[in-house]
Amino acid sequence: MINDSNPILVKYLSLFEELLASDVYALEQSQKEALLLPVLNQLHQLHQQHCQAYQNIVDHHVGDAKKIDELPYLAVRLFKQLNLKSISDENVFKVLQSSGTTSQTPATIYLDKATSARQSKVLVKILQQTIGRQRLPMLIIDSPDILKKPEFSARAAGIQGLAFFGRDHTYALDENMQPNWPVIEAFCQKYAEQPVLIFGFTFMVWLYFIKALQNNGKTISLPNGILIHSGGWKKLIEQQVDNVTFKQTLMATTGISKCFNFYGMAEQVGSVFVECSQGHLHAPIFADVVIRDPFTLKESAMGETGLVQVLSALPSSYPGHSLLTEDLGILKGVDDCLCGAKGKYFAIKGRLPKTEVRGCSDTHSETSL
């Protein structure tokens, strides 16, 4: 158990409050690192002190990192193989599992109440920059049955997290993961000329909503809709569906022009990287990204494709603050995106070859529509 009077935890919480009081995308990278790096260093110390497995892995990292790219990191797949937590069993508030098929071992993430609350608070602050503060009528491209399952999956967590931004929550799919056309059409008729929020995991939105409309010769009209989606690009890339095609087809079938992807994972819930109006993913004040050469693991130069390392200021209950993913990405720029947001912006280019498929929407098998 981490005692509330633990000096490392006390300092971390004080530094985190400074982050929380800052604008999400207003600080230039150097200003942001001056606030974020001390928080990450405190998390590193905290998890060294309270998670023996983490200590064993990073014991050669002594002292604080002087730069973001010097922070030690864990391979994200270790959460499938090790019991990584920095809290006692009695302080576990929620156990989150990444979605997995029967052939995959899910990652297990241990949350205490403080980390869970921090994740929710930060997710709201980040997404309000895109969605706004008003709660909108919400169409969820999933089945309500996902929330009835005993295991708390990443898909369910994503829906619950985004549900905060909506009202009149309406599920577009039935228990067989088929479009519930009467429900969809009633929602569209009720809110035809109003701003609405649509959320789903990328592949499911494409297959069970956009393509289902096409295959059934249907269109709907939600011209003031905002679609937020995440995950599942691997299958779409295999079908030769890129971001431009996705958005064009969405516009043709629904009239929705505001469409934003975000990059996130079960191992770092809350600190998401949201797509801007220019099509770039941005690192918010609470998180950062480093691109590393897949062979040397040294930081890649601007414009070079490499492994994505993600950093988050949120997790104090488990050592998930610095993770090397199996995703390939490219740093596009720093402080100069035309959307006006400061800090790093990047793109995801796919997955490291021969790694297992993982993610929220990849885990639901296709069925005929």
Topology given in CATH for the domain delimited by 120-263: Rossmann fold (3.40.50)
Q: CB under 8 Å to 13, separation ≥6 — which residues? A: none
Strands (E), the chain: 74-75, 94-97, 108-111, 136-140, 166-171, 196-201, 225-230, 258-263, 273-275, 281-282, 287-292, 305-312, 322-334, 344-351
In one-letter notation, the amino acid at residue 238 is: E
Distance, in Å, from the CA atom of 322 to the CA atom of 73, rounded to the nearest integer, reads 5
CB 139 within 8 A of CB 291: no
Confidence of residue 98 (pLDDT cuts 50, 70, 90): confident
Instruction: For 294-329, write each residue's pLDDT tens digit.
Output: 999 999 999 999 999 999 999 999 999 999 999 999
pTM of this structure: 0.89
Average pLDDT over residues 172-193: 94
- For residues 8 and 157, give the distance between their C-alpha atoms in angstroms, rounded to a whole number: 29
* β-sheet bridge partners, residue 351: 327
pLDDT digits (tens, 9 = 90+) for 210-231: 999 999 999 999 999 999 999 7
Q: Yes or no: say if 173 and 120 are a contact pair by the CB < 8 Å rule.
A: no
